[in-house]
Structure 1
């Protein structure tokens, strides 16, 4: 499991370095996840210690939402002022995601039926 945690931390570290070096607005962990995805695509599979490390982190994932919820509570004045913009963005974003997921499932179903 140590090897898996090292891979996760290394990808996050590279993501942070890329974000700082190129002064990107994208958070470092997001770049790190993309780097991890590229690593796994090139490798064509995962490995046992990485799977264990990810499973351990996923078990405690709900705890990571507590700071985000507290951040929302501290910004309630901005949220009330921009309520309609936030509500419309959430609605449109959800609608786009649902349409994309439905079209993708149609594509996968048609592809599976051809086989």
Structure 2
């Protein structure tokens, strides 16, 4: 499990270094996750200690939503002022994501059918 946690921390560190070095607007941990994804695609598999570490972290993932919920509660006056803008952005973003996902699924399904 220690090897898995060290792997995650190394990729997060690399992501932070790249974000700082190139002054990117994307957070370092996001870049680190992309690097980890590329690493796992190249490797074509994961390893047991990484799987165990990720499983333990995912078990406690809901705890990370508590600060976000508190932020919403403390900013309720601002949210109530901008309610319609927030609602329209949420609905539009959801519809765009659904449309994109549907088109991507349609494309991948047709590509798979042509292959078979």
TM value normalised by structure 1: 0.87
Q: Distance in 1 between matches of 2:40 and 2:73?
A: 37
Q: Match for residue 83 of structure 2?
A: 83
- Residues 8-27 of structure 1: pairs in structure 2 closer than 5 A: 8-27=8-27
Q: Distance in 2 between matches of 1:80 and 1:25?
A: 28
Q: Distance in 2 between matches of 1:24 and 1:112?
A: 37
Q: Distance in 1 between matches of 2:72 and 2:16?
A: 24
Q: 1:83 to 1:37 in 2, by over 3 A?
A: same
The CA RMSD measured in Å over matched residues stands at 1.6
Q: Distance in 1 between matches of 2:113 and 2:36?
A: 32
Q: Distance in 1 between matches of 2:75 and 2:22?
A: 29
Structure 2: state its 5+ residue gaps.
Answer: none
- Residues 68-107 of structure 1: pairs in structure 2 closer than 5 A: 68-107=68-107
How many pairs does the alignment contain?
A: 115
Q: Distance in 1 between matches of 2:32 and 2:76?
A: 31
Q: Distance in 2 between matches of 1:29 and 1:71?
A: 21
TM value normalised by structure 2: 0.87
SS at match of 1:10: helix
Q: 1:56 to 1:105 in 2, by over 3 A?
A: same
Deviations 1:84-109 (A, max 9, x none): 22111111110111111112222232
After alignment, is 13-22 or 92-101 more displaced? 13-22
